[in-house]
Amino acid sequence: MTRAVVTGITGQDGSYLAELLLAKGYEVHGLIRRASTFNTDRIEHIYQDPHSPGVRLFLHYGDLASGEQLSYLIYNIQPDEVYHLGAQSHVKVSFEMPEYTGDVSALGTTRLLEAIRRSGIRTRFYQASSSEMFGSAPPPQNESTPFQPCSPYAAAKLYAHWLTRSYREGYGLFACNGILFNHESERRGETFVTRKITRAVALILAGQQNKLYLGNLEAKRDWGYAPEYVEAMWLMLQQDEPEDYVVGTGESHSVKEFVQLAFSYANLDWRRYVEIDPRYLRPSEVDFLRSDAAKAKQKLRWEPHISFQELVQIMVDWDLKAVGLSPIGAGERVLRAKVGAWCAKSYENGVLKRGAPAGRAALSCRI
Ligand code: NAP
Ligand code: G4F
């Protein structure tokens, strides 16, 4: 049985990746942080009681800010593949906590790579690099585009990116950087702009929110659907040679376009609800991201199938259900028709039926 370690398993991508790997028959070991409240919402539907026979999902406490547990895990689990997704992943927060972001997202990668190197285990390693590293470089961006990072987050990710290359070149580690453009889903953290918008649409319709306060509406992003992106991560580690890949849709839309589409899908006029709050502006902004993912298409045979409009519909439908309203329906139909069997099954069995945790809907977005 192939054995994988996933850092960041409780995050958006980690939860989808764990599902994918379990569906492929892997034994999956996830790193989770100790918290005084449950932080495993996104993986609850795949959680297995460790006392049951045939368990293939194991969770281990640990933190990227400390190397000792990482070494212990790598040495004892002896994984075939390591997917390093754990990070302080919020760009705006990184301006407020630059030192912490560097510690977790940059040095955390050093700690993990060193744990692997010192263990002597021949594992394959995936690093969650980011299109944010391109910063102010003009679009379209591909593997040859020079990086021009504009935030502490991007600088930390770039450090981890180069370190991954350095372990590949210096120590012969099978290590890949996936330079992923923005990917969203109904499991997206509530403080990222897409989810903030789709939750607001639902809460407005439910009569629980009057206004949506946003920052820069002009920034453009290449937005795809997250479950499709974790397949690209897996594909990178199945190749004969370790390489770096850009992954994205090749399309770009502004935050304003996302707002317009989400509100009009719910038959709302966004101008009545959206206001600009400078608190959500960043000291420096990445204006325009659009991928050239030709290499991933050619070598990994990877390409996305969910369009921008479908992504918005999926997320709005989900958030409507989360506040107890009926979904409009187009998003749910897309999910059933297009999303792979492993993911569709988890929707049928778990998340879609159960709905999002009720308490969450009422939380206000601070960031
Ligand atoms: P996410 O939802 O924010 O998940 C981040 C994960 O990292 C969570 O499981 C979180 O644990 C964990 N984590 C944070 N700090 C940690 C620490 N000190 N020790 C151990 N674990 C820690 O992020 P995502 O959207 O799934 O993204 C996955 C990765 O891809 C991240 O590295 C992100 O930077 C990168 N990336 C994301 C995108 C995107 O558009 N989503 C694009 C490019 C790259 P808790 O649940 O306990 O907070
Ligand atoms: O949703 P965002 O916070 O995502 P951002 O900054 O693009 O970062 C995400 O994608 C990266 C890949 O490029 C990942 F590496 C990273 O981990 C993360 O997943 O912001 C998107 C855009 C920005 O231009 C921001 O200024 O939306 C703009 N925006 C406007 N109003 C807002 C808001 N962003 C947030 N979070 N909240 C607002 O109110």
Q: Residue 156 contacts by C-beta under 8 Å, 6 or more apart in sequence?
A: 87, 88, 94, 101, 102, 104, 105, 106
The 10 Å CB-count burial string (b at 16+, else e) for 176-195 is bbbbbbbbbbbbbbbebbbb
| 84 alpha carbon – ligand 2 mean position (Å) | 21
Ligand 1 pocket residue status of 352, Cβ below 6 Å: no
- pLDDT exceeds 80 at position 157: yes
Q: Above pLDDT 70, what percent of the chain?
A: 92
58-92 confidence digits (pLDDT tens): 999 999 999 988 999 999 999 999 999 999 999 99
Enumerate residues lining ligand 2, CB below 6 A.
89, 91-92, 130-132, 181-182, 191-193, 196, 214-216, 219, 221, 255, 280, 282, 285, 289
Choosing from 94, 221, 270 the residue with most ligand 2 atoms within 8 A of its CB, the one to mutate for a pocket test is: 221
Pick the atom of ligand 1 nearest to 153's CA. 34
Rounded to an integer, what distance in angstroms lies between the CA atom of residue 271 and that of residue 156?
37
Task: Please give the full DSSP string across 253-285, using - where no structure is assigned.
Answer: EEHHHHHHHHHHHTT--GGGTEEE-GGG--SS-
CA-226 nearest atom, ligand 1: 41
Vertex 293, ends 315 and 23: CA angle to 5°? 55
Q: How far is the CA of 9 from the centre of ligand 1 (A)?
A: 8
Crossing angle, helix 193-205 and helix 308-322, to 10 degrees? Answer: 50
The pTM (predicted TM-score) of the whole model is 0.95
The pLDDT of 190-197, averaged and rounded, is 98
Residue with the smallest CA separation from ligand 2 atom 21 is 193
The three-state secondary structure class of 148 is coil
Q: Is 130 a catalytic residue?
A: yes
As a whole-number percent, the residues of the chain with pLDDT over 90 amount to 88
Mean pLDDT of 146-157: 98
Mean pLDDT lowest among 36-50, 199-213, 245-259, 332-346: 332-346
Which protein residue's CA is at the shortest distance from atom 35 of ligand 2? 193
Residue 281's region, left for phi above 0, alpha for psi from -120 to 50, else beta, is beta
CB of 93 within 8 A of CB of 136? Answer: no
Reported as a single tens digit per residue, the pLDDT across 251-260 is 999 999 999 9
Question: Rounded to an integer, what distance in angstroms lies between the CA atom of residue 40 and that of residue 57?
Answer: 13
Q: What is the mean predicted confidence (pLDDT) over 260-266?
A: 98
Q: What is the mean pLDDT of residues 101-105?
A: 98
Comparing CA positions, the residue from 242, 101, 205, 78 lying closest to residue 159 is 101
DSSP 63-101: -TT-HHHHHHHHHHH--SEEEE--S---HHHHHHSHHHH
Higher-confidence residue of 300 and 335: namely 300
Residue from 192, 211, 212, 270 whose mutation best tests the ligand 2 pocket (most atoms within 8 A of CB)? 192
Alpha helices in 207-329 (DSSP H): 226-237, 255-265, 294-295, 308-322
Q: What is the mean pLDDT of residues 261-287?
A: 98
The answer, yes or no, to whether residue 362 has pLDDT greater than 90, is no
3-state secondary structure of 292: coil
pLDDT on residue 179: 99
Tokens linked to 337: 């028709």
Q: Which residue in this structure is represented by tokens 């069995």? A: 349
Catalytic residue list contains 153: yes
pLDDT class for 361, splitting at 50, 70, 90? very low
CA of 225 to the centre of ligand 1 (A): 16
Strand partners, 177: 127
* Alpha-carbon torsion (81, 86, 87, 91), positive or negative: positive
Active site residue 100: no
Q: Identify the DSSP state of 6.
A: E
Q: Chain-centre distance of CA 215, in angstroms?
A: 21
